Amino acid sequence: MRTLIRNAIAVLPSETRAANVLIEGSKILGIDPPAGAACDETIDATGLHLIPGVVDDHVHFRDPGLTHKEDLHSGSIACAAGGVTTFLEMPNTIPPTTTQEILNAKLDIAASKSVVNYGFYIAASTENLDELRKATRTPGIKIFIGSSTGNLLVDDQDSLEAIFAETTLPITAHCEDESTVRKNQARIAAAGYTGHSDHSRIRNHEAAMIATARAVDLARRHNHRFHVVHVSTAGEIDLFADHGGLLTAEACPHHLFFNVDDYERLGSKVQMNPAIKTKADNDALFAALLDGRIQVVATDHAPHTLEEKNQPYPKSPSGLPAVENSLPLMLDQVHRGNCSLEQVVSWMSDAPARVWDMIGKGRIQEGYDADLVLVDLNRTSTIRDENQRTKCGWSPWHGTTLTGWPVRTIVMGRTVFADGRFDVDHRGAEAVFDHSLGGYWAT
Ligand code: DOR
Ligand code: ZN
């Protein structure tokens, strides 16, 4: 099957220009094929921009174990609607992904349920060093250096030293210092909780700084590739900048666009780990994206039902859904003149694919996978809870009007979402990782 996308403005690796893109099967066969090249289907993309599909390397899809919140079908449908063609999913499912066997089982579930491409991290525990050493079919190792949703926690120095010393897969970690969080929590609980904003006083700047500094120190001493997820404070940025590709970092939309002033309006809907911080932190994170100290934008999509979220603090769980709105949120920044479309493509497609050594993803280039998104940079639409495809059925951005939306999502050469309709018979493919590539800057 050959598909020709005609007349799009394509964001190519080295330039953005009008181009025709020819797809054969699941691959990009060529850019600007000769006139008259044979094809079975033509998509007229006049007025639209063509970008590589978003690679969201940080989602929680709850399958198996907590599928009343989300599952690999509903989560992947939300991805397709949001222009996300590949997701990498975190291991705090039930059971946690601590063995190759459990990881393989998740890959099997995804093969039957996911409409977009997928990969799964393996979790570090205090007892599975051997599994981590041998693990395959995975982007990398996730360590919860501070506890979050679920009970994965590796906090003791000896275990952390061993993981950084004795494994070769890239590592990522949840960095909020457990003892600082517990100390703050005890103090605030003793005084009496006042509401969801207590969350940012418990999971404060200090907690993030201490844990990120600790993880970065481990990575440096062991010369081990490390990706700092969900950077939430200005202070953390200086910890990992400029280390030749050993260290890379991620910012999430909620840490870019929400701050403590939003608790009054949104309550537990903006309760996340790491907690949201201040307007000054929002601005510092955006500035770090613009100058390349942070390379990746990913969501940390972490759905909980409204019933769960509506409990008083601290019973309300931490996490918010975002996969179907992250690209529009960033395209709206393009519309406002705060960044370029090429930067958004770098942060959301190319960089995450390079960080995790994903073969054939994140670029519109001959031979790459045909994971593509057509976006209408002039479309204005308002996010509404009732239109969300995530199983949890709400968004913290309900009522927010954005300009710049995906209108067609193509996964491995097949359209899975176009103009509000889905191809639910399509299945995405397992993502392929080659960790011999040498790291983010090498490719
Ligand atoms: O707020 C969060 N929720 N942060 C995490 O690290 C995990 C996530 C979840 O799984 O609910
Ligand atoms: Zn997460």
Predicted confidence at residue 150, as pLDDT, reads 67
* Angle ∠(436,440,443) on CA atoms, nearest 5: 70
One-letter-per-residue 3-state SS of the chain? CEEEEEEEEEECCCCEEEEEEEEECCEEEEECCCCCCCCCEEEECCCCEEEECEEEEEECCCCCCCCCCCCHHHHHHHHHHCCEEEEEECCCCCCCCCCHHHHHHHHHHHHHHCCCEEEECEECCCCCHHHHHHCCCCCCEEEECCCCCCCCCCCCHHHHHHHHHHCCCCEEEECCCHHHHHHHHHHHHHHCCCCCCHHHHHCCHHHHHHHHHHHHHHHHHCCCCEEECCCCCHHHHHHHCCCCCCEEEEECHHHHHCCHHHHHHHHHHHCCCCCCCCHHHHHHHHHHHHCCCCCEECCCECCCCHHHHCCCCCCCCCCCCCCCCHHHHHHHHHHCCCCCHHHHHHHHHHHHHHHCCECCCCCCCCCCECCEEEEEEEEEEECCHHHCCCCCCCCCCCCCEEEEEEEEEEECCEEEEECCEECCCCCCCECCECCCCCCHHHC
- Number of the ligand 1 atom closest to the C-alpha atom of 318: 1
What does residue 293 show for φ and ψ, rounded to 5 degrees? Answer: -70, -30
Identify whether 434 is a catalytic site residue.
Answer: no
The C-alpha atoms of residue 263 and residue 279 are separated, in whole angstroms, by 13
- Establish whether residue 60 lines the binding site of ligand 1, counting it when its CB lies within 6 angstroms of any ligand atom: yes
Predicted confidence at residue 35, as pLDDT, reads 87
Percent of the chain with pLDDT over 70: 98
The C-alpha atoms of residue 164 and residue 176 are separated, in whole angstroms, by 18
Distance in Å, CA 256 to ligand 2 centroid? 15
Low-confidence ranges of the chain (pLDDT < 50): none
- Number of the ligand 1 atom closest to the C-alpha atom of 144: 6
- Establish whether residue 92 lines the binding site of ligand 1, counting it when its CB lies within 6 angstroms of any ligand atom: yes
Which neighbouring-strand residues pair with 123?
142
The C-alpha atoms of residue 282 and residue 58 are separated, in whole angstroms, by 19
Distance in Å, CA 150 to ligand 1 centroid? 8
Angle between helices 72-81 and 100-113 in degrees, nearest 10: 60
**Active-site residue (options: 63, 177, 198, 300):** 300
Closest ligand to residue 300's CA? 2
- Establish whether residue 73 lines the binding site of ligand 1, counting it when its CB lies within 6 angstroms of any ligand atom: no
Structure tokens that stand for 430 in this block:
């397992």
Distance in Å, CA 90 to ligand 2 centroid? 7
- Establish whether residue 322 lines the binding site of ligand 1, counting it when its CB lies within 6 angstroms of any ligand atom: no
The C-alpha atoms of residue 369 and residue 26 are separated, in whole angstroms, by 6
Predicted confidence at residue 400, as pLDDT, reads 98
Most informative mutation of 318, 390, 392 for ligand 1 (most atoms within 8 A of CB): 318
Residues with CB under 5 A from ligand 2 (ion): 300
Predicted confidence at residue 442, as pLDDT, reads 65
The C-alpha atoms of residue 36 and residue 439 are separated, in whole angstroms, by 40
Closest-CA residue to 122 (of 164, 153, 91): 91
Distance in Å, CA 232 to ligand 2 centroid? 13
pTM value > 0.95? yes
Closest ligand to residue 62's CA? 1
Distance in Å, CA 149 to ligand 1 centroid? 5
Predicted confidence at residue 441, as pLDDT, reads 66
* Angle ∠(89,91,97) on CA atoms, nearest 5: 125
Closest ligand to residue 88's CA? 2
pLDDT digits (tens, 9 = 90+) for 22-34: 999 999 999 999 9
> Could you tell me which residues come within 8 angstroms of residue 182 by beta carbon, excluding any fewer than 6 positions away?
none
Predicted confidence at residue 122, as pLDDT, reads 98
Which residue ranges form the domains of the chain, and what is each CATH number?
Answer: 54-362 (3.20.20.140)
- Establish whether residue 232 lines the binding site of ligand 1, counting it when its CB lies within 6 angstroms of any ligand atom: no
Angle between helices 178-191 and 205-221 in degrees, nearest 10: 170
